[in-house]
Amino acid sequence: MKLQVYSATGAETGREVELPENIFGVEPNEHAVYLAVKAYLAAQRQGTHKAKERGEVAGSTKKLHKQKGTGGSRKGDIKNPLFRSGGRIFGPRPRTYGIKLNKKVKLNARASAYSAKAAEGRVKLVEDLKFDAPKTKDFVNFLNGVQATEGKVLLITADNEPNVYRSGRNLPDSTVLSVGTVNTYEIMRAGTVLVAESAIEKLKEQFATLETTAINE
């Protein structure tokens, strides 16, 4: 698949670049995409919830009354979970919700996401974007120039570009990520995926070990 390269102003440069087939031309594996998105969203959960159990609440450990002969039910101490202000039974504890995925599953999921967007015509190649200083107005002009104004926009750069990142972070519907930090979730939620020209070589290196065989579901 060949795509036209656009300049930073949105004009056609007259050049075309061949996209690697093992990244932008594979049969999308929906299950791999599902697993990658699920793992990403699970990792965003803090997991800091905590409730005090019987041994952690403040209170006396003295038995409230003798076991038998009172005509009432048997009770332990005031921290009994059945009492008001008592400990909670099996309360939540801090935990991690992270899900481990194999490297090839992650790569397969990203390749599937790239290919799905390319098949829909939502991938555009742009020249490397360089800003002398962070300026949101310049970034907006860039998006207008390449006609990436509908839905969410994901710009993928070869390396970390601080000025480009800071120029786009104030826009709620735009995300700037480098090849090393992009994930399946951000690709799938984007309406338009803009790929910097120099990022293609980085992607080739990243996917060099990927086997395009289907993953057993």
User: Averaged over 112-129, what is the pLDDT?
Assistant: 93
| Structure confidence at residue 15 (pLDDT) | 86
When pLDDT is cut at 50, 70 and 90, the band that residue 9 belongs to is confident
| Structure confidence at residue 148 (pLDDT) | 85
pLDDT tops 60 at residue 126: yes
| Structure confidence at residue 215 (pLDDT) | 42
When pLDDT is cut at 50, 70 and 90, the band that residue 210 belongs to is low
User: Averaged over 137-141, what is the pLDDT?
Assistant: 91
pLDDT tops 70 at residue 213: no
| Structure confidence at residue 216 (pLDDT) | 41
pLDDT above 90 coverage of the chain, percent: 71
The domains located in the chain, with CATH, are 2-45+100-206 (3.40.1370.10), 47-96 (no CATH)
pLDDT tops 70 at residue 211: no
**pLDDT tens-place string over residues 34-90:** 999 999 999 999 999 999 999 999 999 999 999 999 998 888 999 999 999 999 999
| Structure confidence at residue 4 (pLDDT) | 86
| Structure confidence at residue 212 (pLDDT) | 43
| Structure confidence at residue 217 (pLDDT) | 41
| Structure confidence at residue 110 (pLDDT) | 95
**pLDDT tens-place string over residues 143-162:** 988 888 788 999 999 988 89
- Indicate the average pLDDT of the chain: 90
| Structure confidence at residue 72 (pLDDT) | 87
User: Averaged over 17-40, what is the pLDDT?
Assistant: 94
Q: Which DSSP string corresponds to the chain?
A: -EEEEE-TTS-EEEEEEEPPHHHHSSPP-HHHHHHHHHHHHHHT---------TTTS-S--S-SS-SSSSSS-----TT-TTSTT-PPTT------------HHHHHHHHHHHHHHHHHTT-EEEEPPP--SS--HHHHHHHHHHTT--SS-EEEEESS--HHHHHHHTTSTTEEEEETTT--HHHHHH-SEEEEETTHHHHHHHHTTT---SPPP-
